[in-house]
Structure 1
Amino acid sequence: MSFNGTKELFLSSRTDSDFYNRSLTTYKRKIEVFFEFLTEDYGVNDNNYKEVLRGIDNIAITKSIEFYVKRYSISFKNTIDLYISVIKSYFEFLNKKLDIRNDNFDSAISFSAIKNSVDNKIIELGLETTELKSPITEQAFVKILNRCDEILNSYNLNYLLENRGKSRKNPVQVFTSAIVTKLVMLTGIKNQVIDTIKLKDYDSELNIVTINNFSIHLPNGLGKQMKRYLELRNCIVNNKDENYPLFVKRDGTSIGIAYEYIFKILKDTLGSTSAECVAKYTIMQMIKKGMNLYLIKMLTKFGIESCLHCQELVNDEKTNEDITSQNRYIDSKIRSMDVFDLL
C-alpha cells in the first residue's frame, strides 16, 4: 500500500458526524496537514513511510503543530486539539488495521508525554485557549430543518390549544421550539437574544423581524410559519403589550432563560440543546458570503472569540481549494483597492 493509500483507507473507515469536530471534513483536513508536514519535513514517501511512522514521537508532533500554526495562521487551541485527536486516531488505525505500530500512541500512559508536549507548545505559541463549542455539519442542519418543517407545516390551532396542558410532548412547546430554532438557523443569534425580541419587532405584513436593530426579511416558508405562530401566540398570551416578548412558553409567560424548553427540538434530533452549535454553522455561512465579522457580532451577540473561531474554521476549509483560485481572489481584491491606483 502507498503512503497516501493509508490516508484514504483511514478516512474511508470513518463515519460522518452531526458535529463539525467529528465530521469527515475535519478529519480529512487535519490528516492532510499531517501528511503535508511529513512529506516536507521528513521526506516521507512510499518506500520509507512505515519506518517513519513507527518513529514519530512527541518532538515530531510538536514540530507538526508549529508547522500547522505558522503556515495556516491558526489561532485557537481548539483547532490543535482536533488535529491531535485525528492524528491519534490515525495511529490507532495503523496499529489495528495495517500492523504499523507506534509505541508512543499505544496507550494512555505512553501518549501522556505527547500530550504534555502539545500543551506546552500551545502555550509557547500563544494560542487562544477559550473552550469553544463545535458547529454542526450540513447534514445535521438539514436534519433539524426537516424536523422543524414537519412540525410547523402540520399546524392545527385547535389541536395545539386543546393539548397544551400536557406535561410530556406538549405540542405548543414543540411548535414554539421549532419556530425559534428556525430563526436561529437563519440569523445565528445567541440564546440570550431570543427573549429580547418583542412583539413589536415582528411585522407580519412586511414579513420582517427586527433583531438587535437589524431588520431582517424572512424567507417565504418561515414567514408563513411565523404567521401561524403569531396566531397561536395571540390565543395563549393575555398581555397584549407590544413590548412583551414575541416568543413565549405554553402558559403565555416569557421564555426567559428556559433554553432547554425552547430548544427541545434540538434535544430530539441531536441529543443536545446547544443552540450555539447551530448558530455557529450559520455564522460560518455568513462568513463564506463575505459578511463583515463585526456586523455578525452585533447581530448575533456572540463574542469576538466565537466569531473568530468560525472564521478560522472557514479559512481552514478554504486551504483545500486550488492555490491558483486563492491567488486569483487575493490579486483581484488588491487590484480593487483605492490605493492600487494611487500607487
Structure 2
Amino acid sequence: MISFKTIEEAHDRIRPFIHRTPVFTNKTINGRVGAELFFKCENFQKIGAFKARGGLNAILQVVANQEGKAITTHSSGNHAQAVAFAARQVGLPAYIVMPRTAPRVKKEAVLGYGAEVIECEPTLEAREAGVREVIERTGAVLVHPFDDDRVIAGQATATKELIEDAGLQKYDTERPFDTILAPVGGGGLLSGTSLATHYLSPETRVIAAEPEGAADAILSFHSGIVEKAPYIKTIADGLMTTLSDRTLTIIREHVTDILTVSDDEIIAAMRLVWERMKIIIEPSSAVPLAAVLKHTDQFAGQKIGIIVTGGNVDLGKLPF
C-alpha cells in the first residue's frame, strides 16, 4: 500500500535531484473555459517531464538496497530519459528498450545521458521481450514505467507540490481544487495523482483524460479488468500503453471519471498553450486541457489543477 508517508519519503528522497516546477495560470484560457486553471508545469522538470520523479525514487532505492548493478526499462521516451538520467546520477549503466517509432528527440536524449538504446517494434509485447533479453544478458534490475509502487510514489509528488503551492497555501479552504486532471497511459502518473489527492484533499475529484486513439483505460475503468484499446493511432505517443492490474486497482478506487479526446482536439489544445502561455508542451501534456475544452459545461466555475506532463517535442514534426 502506498501511504502518504510513502509519498512524503519519496519527496524527501528525490528533492535534491529535481526541480520544484512552477504552477502557471492564463487569463485567456480561463476565459475560454469559464474556470480557473492551474497548470503544474512538469515540462520544466529535469529531463523535461514528470517521469524524472518516479525514475529517481525507484533507482535511488535500488542503490540503497543493493538490488543490482545495472538498470533496464522499456519506454516510448520520457520514462526512458528518466531512467537514463537517474542511472547516471548514481553511476549505474542503463539499458533502455524503445520502440523504433519513438520520437528522435527522446532517443537522442537517452543516449545523451549515457544509456544504451535497444530498439524494438512498437508493441508492448516487443518492449517486454526486449527487457527480458536485457535482464538475461546483463542481470539488470527492471524499473517498470508504471507497474511499480516506487515509481507511482515518485509521480505522486507532482500533485503534492501542486496542492501545496497553488492550493493549501493560497486558498484557506478544505478543498484546494474542485478537480485535478492528468492524462493516462499506463496509469503510473494517474495513480500517483489520485493517491496524493486522496490524502491531501479527499473532496477533490480526480479525472483522467485519454486519447480516442489509445482508449484502453476508459474500457478497463468500466469493466474492472485490464483491456486493450480497439485501435492505436494517436499523436500522443506517451499514452499508448495499457494499464496494469496495480494501476487499474488504484484508479478505480480513487478516480472519478475518464474522458476521451480526438487528435484534432489534442492538437488544438497544444497549440493554444504554445500560443497563449508561451511554453512548449508535448501532445500527451495537452490531453487534459483538451478534455476541459471539450466539456466546458462540466468544469465551468471550478478551480482546476492540471498536470502538464512534459515538453519533449520533435520540433521537426510539429502538428501545426
Band the TM-score falls in, shorter-chain normalisation: under 0.3
Q: Which has the higher helix share?
A: 1
Q: Which has the higher strand share?
A: 2
Q: TM-score, normalised by structure 1?
A: 0.25
Q: TM-score, normalised by structure 2?
A: 0.26
Q: Which has the larger radius of gyration?
A: 1
Query: Structure with the greater relative contact order (CA < 8 A, sep ≥ 6): 1 or 2?
Result: 2
